[in-house]
Amino acid sequence: MKIAEKIISVVKSEKKILISTHINPDGDALGSALSLAAALNSIGKKTFVYCRDRVPETYRFLPGYRNVISKIQEALKGDPLLILLDCNSPERAALEKFQFRYSIVIDHHETEKDFGDIRWVDPKAAATGMMVFSLIKDIGVKITKDIAINLYTAIAADTGTFRYSNTSPEVLKAGAELVKAGAEPDFIASQLYETWDKKRFDLLISALNTLVIKEGIAIMHISREMFRRTGTKYEDTEHFSNFPRMVGSVKVSAVFKETGNGVWKASLRSKGDINVAKIAEQYEGGGHRNAAGFRIKTDLATARRMLIQAVKKLGNK
Amino acid sequence: MKIAEKIISVVKSEKKILISTHINPDGDALGSALSLAAALNSIGKKTFVYCRDRVPETYRFLPGYRNVISKIQEALKGDPLLILLDCNSPERAALEKFQFRYSIVIDHHETEKDFGDIRWVDPKAAATGMMVFSLIKDIGVKITKDIAINLYTAIAADTGTFRYSNTSPEVLKAGAELVKAGAEPDFIASQLYETWDKKRFDLLISALNTLVIKEGIAIMHISREMFRRTGTKYEDTEHFSNFPRMVGSVKVSAVFKETGNGVWKASLRSKGDINVAKIAEQYEGGGHRNAAGFRIKTDLATARRMLIQAVKKLGNK
């Protein structure tokens, strides 16, 4: 039996379904969860969408986002089926304290965990939204405009609106179907990329003013004083390290963010084959080949120097 | 007879074909021209690709770009058929001084011109590349990897890699086919957006440091001194006015660029229904609803004030 068929057969025999996704939810997490909830509602299921953290401003255009709950007690009554989306361990969803009668995992992250009675983990999928899209079609539910907006956002978020290497023909074909069903690419792109707070943009400009590029390595920093002056928080620095990548000669881009007690958090981005996860691992951090991070307790000048040496060492291997 | 069939029948009876596109060529112009040339070569035609201006750095990854000529004399020998791409008047291609035995126009810009023995002008097409893609398929030529890269770039450039409102299901389906044929979305996006000169990025940071946002209007400026200090030119400011659009509250974004003799060139960008072409027209400039420009001879403070008033007036209508 195909895994999707098995999932459908289990889901059909249930009345109450709890859909949960990871903390610090992103577009793929929320879009996947909300589209699956809408599809299951349309075949008569009672659903709850749970995420420990509230829906970030950026995603408050997704149809149904107001139904995302951050308190779980009500949803647990009646012993629901659990579907874990875009992550594959209870810890990632802040669910480790609870017991579930039966659980299904749908995720595209690589993993070593073994949670879930049914595990559908496909690291080749560009987004969990691609898996949910195929599942919803297999269930036989009509892709409404609301479902299309959620799925398109999920896929757009995890492929950088079709700019990353995971943009396969299947991803673009899915995009075409979802636009046909009512998703508006310009509206969604504008929600994803053009809804910054003014103060966040001020922080970006401040950070860019600290930019130094040497031997293909771009380094910026954000001190606590800069956060204070602009009235911003650590979360506001998301995507900052992508900007210096616009410069052709930049191979690695780093942002050092001061967190207090002499600790700096580094976000690294790289182009092509340069594996910044290897650098992050040296400092007990982690991530992927082209996007990784670590923490370091030292002064900024030393942190910078260490990073430059680590990148050079990587290049010499 | 379908217009594409008519074009194909004319093309098949010719030996030598001159493909030309507009001055200041962009991704759609070059990608369309190079893919059509490759397709016609494969059915035994001798082709020339002419553009008065040289291929910008950004597009020097397109297969065949070295074959683009900026001197036309050689190509004119033997009285070739002319195919004008991504523009529809000889003037836009700097061809007004020459006579052609027979000419075909393939373009998606709105127009009032009437040049061309066969005119295929379709403003509904998201890119000229979409029209050329369908034409190449009608000719019956295999979409090689080189053709796919050129066509994908053409379409990606004119849809902002699938972010603009012209991103239809057909556009995404074409993208899917071209990726299947060998175009790599991440490579192409990186060529389009991540090949800036360091000095151009320095100029952007300088410009951002002048940013003021008031009542939804973002204004930056670039003085001659800033160009001088960073070693940049007027062309380096392309896309600058898009950056402040990232701020949610910004409805109109303007960059004033000092050109000398007290003249400032303004580039305007707007979101949604705000028609900045109406503002540009008041100062004898022009453009489209969401992207327009004009020149003004006055001091910067006055120019700023006039713009803010014009935007407000527009809003009150």
| Tens digits of residue pLDDT in B149-165 | 999 999 999 999 999 98
B58, two tokens: 């950004």
Alpha carbons B220 and B213: distance in angstroms, whole number? 9
Show the low-confidence residues of chain A (pLDDT under 70).
Answer: 1, 112, 316-317
Give chain B's mean pLDDT: 94
B32, two tokens: 């369309």
- Whether A186 and A193 have beta carbons less than 8 Å apart is answered as no
| pLDDT (0 to 100) of residue A290 | 84
Alpha carbons A51 and A60: distance in angstroms, whole number? 14
For chain A, the domains span 3-193, 198-316
Q: Which of A161, A196, A271 sits opposite B162 (nearest CB)?
A: A161
Roughly what angle, to the nearest 10 degrees, separates helices B145-159 and B169-180? 150
- Whether A253 and A218 have beta carbons less than 8 Å apart is answered as yes
B13, two tokens: 């009876």
| pLDDT (0 to 100) of residue A287 | 78
| pLDDT (0 to 100) of residue A230 | 97
SS3 content of chain A, % helix, strand, coil (to 5): 45, 20, 35
B238 touches chain A (CB under 8 A): no
Q: Which of B168, B185, B247 sits opposite A162 (nearest CB)?
A: B185
| Set of chain A residues whose Cβ sits within 8 Å of the Cβ of B162 | 161-162, 175, 185, 189
| Set of chain A residues whose Cβ sits within 8 Å of the Cβ of B245 | 194
| pLDDT (0 to 100) of residue B273 | 86
Size of interface A-B (CB pairs under 8 A): 115
| pLDDT (0 to 100) of residue A317 | 60
Indicate left, alpha or beta for B24 from its phi (over 0: left) and psi (-120 to 50: alpha).
Answer: left
| Tens digits of residue pLDDT in B91-134 | 999 999 999 999 999 999 877 678 999 999 999 999 999 999 99
- Which residues does A64 contact at the CB level (< 8 Å), separation at least 6? A34, A37, A38, A49, A146, A150
Least Cα separation, residue A193 to chain B (angstroms):
6
> What is B198-316's CATH topology?
Diaminopimelate Epimerase; Chain A, domain 1 (3.10.310)
| Set of chain A residues whose Cβ sits within 8 Å of the Cβ of B238 | none
ipTM confidence: 0.90
C-alpha distance from residue B123 to each of A94, B111, B127, B195 (Å): 51, 9, 9, 30
Least Cα separation, residue B126 to chain A (angstroms):
13
| Set of chain A residues whose Cβ sits within 8 Å of the Cβ of B177 | 169
B1 touches chain A (CB under 8 A): no
| Tens digits of residue pLDDT in B170-224 | 999 999 999 999 999 999 999 999 999 999 999 999 999 999 999 999 999 999 9
The burial of A261, by beta-carbon neighbours within 10 Å (0-12 exposed, 13-18 middle, 19 or more buried), is given as: exposed
Q: B205 and A201 in contact by Cβ < 8 A?
A: no
Which one-letter amino acid corresponds to residue B27? G
Domains A3-193 and A198-316 share a fold: no
Q: B132-164 in b/e burial notation, b at 16+ Cβ within 10 A?
A: bbebbeebebebbebbbbbbbbbbbbbbbbbbb
| Tens digits of residue pLDDT in B284-301 | 988 778 888 999 999 999
For A167, the closest chain B residue by CA position comes to B185
A145 touches chain B (CB under 8 A): no
Q: pLDDT-derived band of residue B317, with 50, 70 and 90 as boundaries? A: low
Q: A185 and B208 in contact by Cβ < 8 A?
A: no
B186 touches chain A (CB under 8 A): yes
> What is B3-193's CATH topology?
inorganic pyrophosphatase (n-terminal core) (3.90.1640)
Alpha carbons A33 and B4: distance in angstroms, whole number? 45
| pLDDT (0 to 100) of residue A66 | 98
Q: A163 and B184 in contact by Cβ < 8 A?
A: no
Residue B83 has pLDDT above 70, yes or no: yes
A179 touches chain B (CB under 8 A): yes
